[in-house]
Structure 1
Amino acid sequence: MRSLPENFIDLIYLDPPFFTGKERKAKSRIRPSEDSFEDNWASDIEGYMEWLRPRLTETRRLLISTGLIYLHLDWHAVHYAKVEMDKIFGYDHFINEIIWRYRTGGVSRNMFARKHDTILVYSKTSKFRIDPWKEKAYTKSRYRKAGVVNYGSGKAEFFSDSRGVYNFVNASDVWEIPYINSQAKERVGYPSQKPELLLDRIISSSTQPGDMVADFFCGSGTTGVVAQRLGRRWILADKSRGAVEVARIRLQDVVRETSFKKDYQEIKINECGQNKREVKREQGD
């Protein structure tokens, strides 16, 4: 991260270890060898935050003035991270707390079932760019019909389907997106792999074609895969050689699918210090 220039990136998505205290095996169907995905910490939550804090600080330097960062965590550490993000980016630059709701996982006998992750959204300045995706909002009025309705401050267009009459409004901050099931085509077997739909919503609403998207805990490379399909530039990094190799294979395939040029260079892995590796697309002339 420190090797990158400042004011360089339009959107950063961070999906760091969650402070779960677990170690899981990562065996991808596209890279048969087995790697460990470690989220073990010898220290307490304060030690974890000491590790995370400088990485969060560095992201602010990298963002352009209209840039956004999405920090993806869960109940283990998100509340501590919120305090740090308020210090780094400013309390007034907090945009949203997105709840990613899913149905997978077990149930508990003595507490409510934990069925969501939290994504904190911050801007670098007050001039951020975001265009929330739209969802249907059904009206309860018995007299509303499909068509255009004029108001003093503008107009709204209504539609109808089997459920009733609706219009389109900005989506709420609760996103119900299924976890990747075992038969899904996009599944590669990496334990922390996130659904492509989740990244599609983030990237589509927060960037324009040609913008730069970065993910410094890239895992299996989903951020890069979605960014490539949406016509965004991207840079990914991860300390795990296994993760970066899985990402490289996935990205090589999607670059072939989406490239309008027959001549492009292979995606290469760059060594960026002892504990960080970076995967970049090198475009042809």
Structure 2
Amino acid sequence: MTNTLYYGDNLKVLQSHIADESVDLIYLDPPFNSNANYNILFKSPDGSDSDAQINAFDDTWSWGPDAEESVDFVTASGNHKTHDLLEAMLGFLGKNDMMAYLAMMAARLIELHRVLKPTGSLYLHCDPTASHYLKLLLDGVFGAENYRNEIVWKRTNIHNDSKTWSKIADTIFFYSKSKNFSWTEPREPHSESHIASKFKNDDNDGRGPYSLSDMTSPNPRPNMMYEWKGFPFPPKGWRYKLETMQRLHDENKIWYPTDSDGYLDTKRRPRLKRFLNELDGNIMSAVWTDINPLNSQAQERLGYPTQKPLALLERIISASSNEGDVVLDPFCGCGTAVDAAEKLGRKWIGIDVTHLAINLIEQRMKDSHPGVQFDVKGRPESLDSAMELARRDKHEFEKWIVPKLDGHLFEDGRKGADGGIDGFIYFKPDGKKTQKAILSVKGGDNVGVAMIRDLVGVMEREKALAGVFITKALPSKPMMQEAAKLGLFESEVSGRKHPRLQIITLAEVFQDRRPDLPWVVSPFRKAQRHDKSGEQGKLI
């Protein structure tokens, strides 16, 4: 299976493109129905955080035809337990926003269960807003017997929440498809205080510090009752067979007590040397406090509002999959799961419903893993498919093409009056001062010279040095002449002159033509490059 990013509704993508029992691990971090608009904060032209934001997704749900369709999907799936559960929830909650969200999730969880291998696992990341309802849905789809853990991740520091305990944690539900699931036991390092108190001994022979442990049997073992080096056997015998004792002695792993004169003190008992560097860390609990959230200064931070730390996904992927396995994230956002999967030598599938997220992930993967190979499906990859998108949904067409041209969408890409502006491109003609170009996108079949005059007016109003007119239809000769009237601007960076108003057709975009602007500032933050070790390390 090829590494693939899909643009589109994840339910439809799962149904159309992902085969039964083809995925080893699923991680999903769906919107939490928190009635909040999440915005992605782009890097401003001077490299600092900007107030210019692009809407990433709106996680507010409302009951309507889509919710009804999700309930019908669950009914038709034949999963009677989940259907009955959803009906009970509907009776309790009524047809409200929360119920719309749960209906959407129920349909997708059924599809995710279908594509998961019998040895596979699913991790659902959520907050307390709907976690109690989601747990019931997971029980209905996967079976309560396949519930493994409720992981609590401390995602933030303590803050003042009025008249409640401070809300600092997310929940991650861990389910498997069967009792025979892939698992590599994760370990965490011993604490410094534990090492200082328990590993006080060192023979200074290069093996490092060690602790001493009991060598006596906890239960009566007659075959272990033998004298060892003058030491009588304990009342219940030794813990080890004679040949094992000899091997441990030869390896200098037995500590022998001595008296004040340096002779063996046979009134006391030998003890086993346990070297720190030979011991695994502690078994990891389901409460994770050692992975810090991404603060505003974190190097891996891309500005995506719900971005999770790479270490969080690395822990999950390392524990519940093996190299070469397929990892799926159906709400892939800014791509942390697929980034971690690539880093750990897994194959991956990412799905998202926004062009913005797909563009961001594509850039992130190229920055983090130079030379990485993957497919992008569902977005326009040919002139015909782009023209079809423009015909079907002009707003989605705008949201696709503006980021493709390194532009910032205007007003978060929301529908409504745009004042003649669909986006901005920031650039530095002198290498210092940032200027802007106004983007105007026309996906219709008819364009005319009046549209060029309108763009000129917007440029004057916004004090923009340049303008770019993107059109699906071919421009007329009067349009080209009107654009040429604005003349040229000179750039110290490029050492030449550039047209102030440029007309670019959709066909030219697919011939790799881009706005002729010097020193364009990319809207995407550059992701950290990862050095791929080629093998998975210990889970500590």
What TM-score results when the alignment is normalised by the length of structure 2?
Answer: 0.45
1:41 maps to what in 2?
Answer: 61
- Output the CA distance in 2 between the equivalents of 1:27 and 1:172: 34
How much has 1:93 moved relative to structure 2?
Answer: 0.3
| Aligned-pair identity (%) | 34
Superposed, 1:35-114 pairs within 5 Å as 35-42=55-62, 43-104=96-157, 106-114=159-167
What SS class does the counterpart of residue 256 from structure 1 fall into? Answer: coil
1:2 maps to what in 2?
Answer: 15
- Output the CA distance in 2 between the equivalents of 1:187 and 1:202: 19
Q: Deviations over 1:158-180 (max 9, x none)?
A: 528xxxxx862220001112110
- Output the CA distance in 1 between the equivalents of 2:285 and 2:273: 18
- Output the CA distance in 1 between the equivalents of 2:314 and 2:123: 13
* Pick aligned residue for 2:351 from 232, 237, 241: 237
- Structure 1's 64 and 250: CA in aligned 2 closer, same or farther, altered over 3 A? same
Superposed, 1:125-136 pairs within 5 Å as 125-136=178-189
RMSD: 3.2
- Structure 1's 224 and 142: CA in aligned 2 closer, same or farther, altered over 3 A? closer
1:283 maps to what in 2?
Answer: none
- Structure 1's 27 and 70: CA in aligned 2 closer, same or farther, altered over 3 A? same
How much has 1:141 moved relative to structure 2?
Answer: 7.9
What SS class does the counterpart of residue 295 from structure 2 fall into? Answer: coil
2:40 maps to what in 1?
Answer: 26
- Output the CA distance in 2 between the equivalents of 1:224 and 1:36: 18
How much has 1:51 moved relative to structure 2?
Answer: 1.1
How much has 1:37 moved relative to structure 2?
Answer: 2.3
Superposed, 1:268-279 pairs within 5 Å as 268-271=376-379
1:210 maps to what in 2?
Answer: 324
Matched length: 265
1:14 maps to what in 2?
Answer: 28
For the pair 1:172 / 2:285, whether they are aligned, the reply is: yes
Name structure 1 gaps, 5 residues minimum: 161-165, 278-285
- Structure 1's 235 and 201: CA in aligned 2 closer, same or farther, altered over 3 A? same
- AA at the equivalent of 1:112: W
Q: Are the equivalent residues in 2 in contact too, given 1:147–1:157 (CA < 8 A)?
A: yes
What SS class does the counterpart of residue 165 from structure 2 fall into? Answer: coil
How much has 1:71 moved relative to structure 2?
Answer: 0.3
- Output the CA distance in 2 between the equivalents of 1:156 and 1:251: 47
What SS class does the counterpart of residue 85 from structure 1 fall into? Answer: helix
Q: Are the equivalent residues in 1 in contact too, given 2:342–2:348 (CA < 8 A)?
A: yes
For the pair 1:159 / 2:179, whether they are aligned, the reply is: no
User: More displaced, 131-140 or 102-111?
Assistant: 131-140
1:182 maps to what in 2?
Answer: 296
Greater gyration radius: 2
Superposed, 1:211-226 pairs within 5 Å as 211-226=325-340
- Output the CA distance in 2 between the equivalents of 1:142 and 1:48: 51
Name structure 2 gaps, 5 residues minimum: 1-13, 46-51, 63-95, 202-209, 218-238, 241-271, 381-388, 401-540
- Structure 1's 30 and 241: CA in aligned 2 closer, same or farther, altered over 3 A? farther
- Structure 1's 144 and 249: CA in aligned 2 closer, same or farther, altered over 3 A? same
- Output the CA distance in 1 between the equivalents of 2:367 and 2:273: 42
What SS class does the counterpart of residue 83 from structure 1 fall into? Answer: helix
Q: Deviations over 1:2-32 (max 9, x none)?
A: 1210010000001000110111221333998
How much has 1:139 moved relative to structure 2?
Answer: 8.1
